[in-house]
Amino acid sequence: QSPTDNAGGGRSGALSPPPFVEDLQRIDVNPPRGTRDFPPEEMRLRNWLFNNFKEVSCLFGFEEVDFPVLESEALFVRKAGEEIRDQLYCFEDRGNRRVALRPELTPSLARLVIQKGKSLSLPLKWFAVGQCWRYERMTRGRRREHYQWNMDIIGVPEVTAEAEIISSIITFFKRIGITASDVGFKVSSRKVLQEVLMRYSIPEESFGKVCIIIDKIEKIPLDDIKKELKFAGVSAEATEKLLQVLSIKSLTKLEEILGGTGDAIADLKQLFSLAEKFGYSEWIQFDASIVRGLAYYTGIVFEGFDREGKLRAICGGGRYDRLLSTFGGDDIPACGFGFGDAVIVELLKEKGLLPELGLQVENIVCALDPDLQGAAATVATILREKGQSVDLVLENKPLKWVFKRAARINASRLILVGISEWQKGMVGVKILSSGEQHEIKLDEL
Ligand SMILES: Nc1ccc(Br)nc1
């Protein structure tokens, strides 16, 4: 914008429509349906949350990665009947390519691992915090975007990987004041279902679909679950057995039903043993009904829940050993989790744990005379080059206005650039907490 442009707001005349706007209609200033703006206060909370995500990830030795929000639709077109597929925010771009706003991060991670191939030395420990999307009919008024924290370990087949990532989430919870009395983890394994289905000769390719149906067990009537299982080729007898197994809440009972030789029991026993060694036994419990709603899980699955039962799942994850091969890559064992930015904030509100995050500026610098605006800029630069934050008053404002702004931005010091002090190479300093005032030389700032 050149200074001579009179874009309707210039000093020279009455407001007229800017030349580049045809018909000046007031646009809708709200963000698109289901999306959020992050004005400063909300952005401070988001940054606080994400910084905790990232600090915990680094504490566990993970490296940060990211991927495009826009991906090929092909990455997400799984045929297991997942909600995430039904709500895919997909479209055809100007190059007639089928693309989608990512609904989750794991397929992108799998794509990158395949792309990098042999150049990667396993295991990989990667984390990401990224915006994910869904296109849901606004009838339910739910959001269409959220930010997800993901941590994934790629290349470790043992359950130690799942134990490690659960430990990282618990470390996060403890950092922000959430305890085992507030939140727990329900843990199971898809191998439990697999072992039951195999006994009834349910074909392997139905496994993902059956898991997605069972994941809806608390969301739709039991009769509908049974109908959908029947439609998926599961006999009534097998269904009854499945429902019996899903109600089990103890490993001992599960072992009685399944026998003690399968991988499901072995994995779960190892996980609970490791939990004890990590020191988080009080946080986790076995619950066979946990299957999670993503088709690609193949082993341990878990979800974080609020013990008061008021909120939706806080986070969830599990092992996905076959995902890479579905994209044509070699199978590499992997596990990970997704942790959304919405339910956790609801939980923090519930628990009175939202942090106080006011704006904090060290100095507010103000020229006491319009002719000293340049001198004020010099003072601001000196302070900033010393690493001190400065809010520089940019217009000729009355002191009452300056004090009001200083209070609003929570400034520690008011630096006053006045003619008499300036002529001595000094400025006035007021410590706003105590009211103490003195003059100092520029190099003492
Ligand atoms: N997958 C997904 C994406 C966006 C939202 Br909001 N929730 C879930």
Determine the pLDDT at residue 17.
Answer: 67
Cα of 146 from ligand 1 centre, angstroms = 6
Task: Tell whether ligand 1 has an atom less than 6 A from the beta carbon of residue 146.
Answer: yes
Determine the pLDDT at residue 80.
Answer: 81
Cα of 132 from ligand 1 centre, angstroms = 6
Q: Say how many C-beta atoms besides its own lie within 10 A of residue 301's C-beta.
A: 29
Task: Tell whether ligand 1 has an atom less than 6 A from the beta carbon of residue 104.
Answer: yes
Q: What gap in Å lies between CA 230 and CA 242, rounded to an integer?
A: 12
Rg of the chain over all Cα atoms, to the nearest angstrom: 29
Residue 380: burial class (beta carbons within 10 Å; 0-12, 13-18, 19+): buried
**Cβ proximity of 116 and 298 under 8 Å:** no
Cα of 160 from ligand 1 centre, angstroms = 29
Counting residues of the chain whose pLDDT is more than 90, the rounded percentage is: 81
Determine the pLDDT at residue 37.
Answer: 98
Q: What gap in Å lies between CA 263 and CA 203, rounded to an integer?
A: 19
Question: ipTM of this complex > 0.95?
Answer: yes
Has residue 431 got a pLDDT over 90? Answer: yes
Cα of 339 from ligand 1 centre, angstroms = 11
**Cβ proximity of 166 and 275 under 8 Å:** yes
Residue owning the nearest CA to atom 3 of ligand 1: 133
Spatial CA neighbour of 369 closest among 435, 427, 443: 427
Cα of 144 from ligand 1 centre, angstroms = 6
Task: Tell whether ligand 1 has an atom less than 6 A from the beta carbon of residue 84.
Answer: yes
Spatial CA neighbour of 165 closest among 290, 250, 59, 264: 59
Q: What gap in Å lies between CA 108 and CA 130, rounded to an integer?
A: 11
Cα of 342 from ligand 1 centre, angstroms = 10
Determine the pLDDT at residue 10.
Answer: 45
Task: Tell whether ligand 1 has an atom less than 6 A from the beta carbon of residue 102.
Answer: no
Task: Tell whether ligand 1 has an atom less than 6 A from the beta carbon of residue 317.
Answer: no
Banded pLDDT at 388 (limits 50, 70, 90) = very high
Q: What is the mean pLDDT of the chain?
A: 93
Residue carrying the six token digits 């191939």: 117
Higher local confidence (pLDDT), 179 or 136: 179
387 CB contacts (<8 Å, ≥6 apart)? none
pLDDT tens string 333-358: 999 999 999 999 999 999 999 999 98
Has residue 12 got a pLDDT over 70? Answer: no
Q: What gap in Å lies between CA 250 and CA 276, rounded to an integer?
A: 16
Q: Which of 90, 136, 148, 150 to mutate to test the pocket of ligand 1 (most atoms within 8 A of CB)?
A: 148
Counting residues of the chain whose pLDDT is more than 70, the rounded percentage is: 96
Has residue 13 got a pLDDT over 90? Answer: no
Q: What gap in Å lies between CA 155 and CA 125, rounded to an integer?
A: 9
Task: Tell whether ligand 1 has an atom less than 6 A from the beta carbon of residue 287.
Answer: no
pLDDT average, residue stretch 14-36: 82
pLDDT tens string 51-100: 999 999 999 999 999 999 999 999 999 888 888 889 999 999 999 999 99
Task: Tell whether ligand 1 has an atom less than 6 A from the beta carbon of residue 311.
Answer: no
Spatial CA neighbour of 290 closest among 189, 150, 162: 189
pLDDT average, residue stretch 137-164: 94
Determine the pLDDT at residue 107.
Answer: 98
pLDDT average, residue stretch 120-140: 93
Has residue 2 got a pLDDT over 80? Answer: no
Banded pLDDT at 201 (limits 50, 70, 90) = confident
Has residue 235 got a pLDDT over 60? Answer: yes
Task: Tell whether ligand 1 has an atom less than 6 A from the beta carbon of residue 288.
Answer: no
Determine the pLDDT at residue 125.
Answer: 98
Cα of 88 from ligand 1 centre, angstroms = 9
pLDDT average, residue stretch 380-388: 97
Cα of 435 from ligand 1 centre, angstroms = 50
Would you give the DSSP letter of residue 31? P
Task: Tell whether ligand 1 has an atom less than 6 A from the beta carbon of residue 152.
Answer: no
Task: Tell whether ligand 1 has an atom less than 6 A from the beta carbon of residue 36.
Answer: no
Determine the pLDDT at residue 259.
Answer: 85
- Cα 244 to chain centroid distance, Å, stands at 35
What is the residue-wise DSSP string for 377-404?
HHHHHHHHHTT--EEE--S---HHHHHH
Question: Both tokens of residue 393?
Answer: 């008053």
pLDDT average, residue stretch 227-238: 92
pTM: 0.92
Which atom, in ligand 1's list, is nearest to the CA of 142? 6
pLDDT tens string 369-378: 999 999 999 9
Determine the pLDDT at residue 314.
Answer: 98
Cα of 31 from ligand 1 centre, angstroms = 17
pLDDT tens string 312-329: 999 999 999 999 999 988
**Cβ proximity of 119 and 95 under 8 Å:** no
Has residue 1 got a pLDDT over 60? Answer: no
pLDDT average, residue stretch 271-292: 97
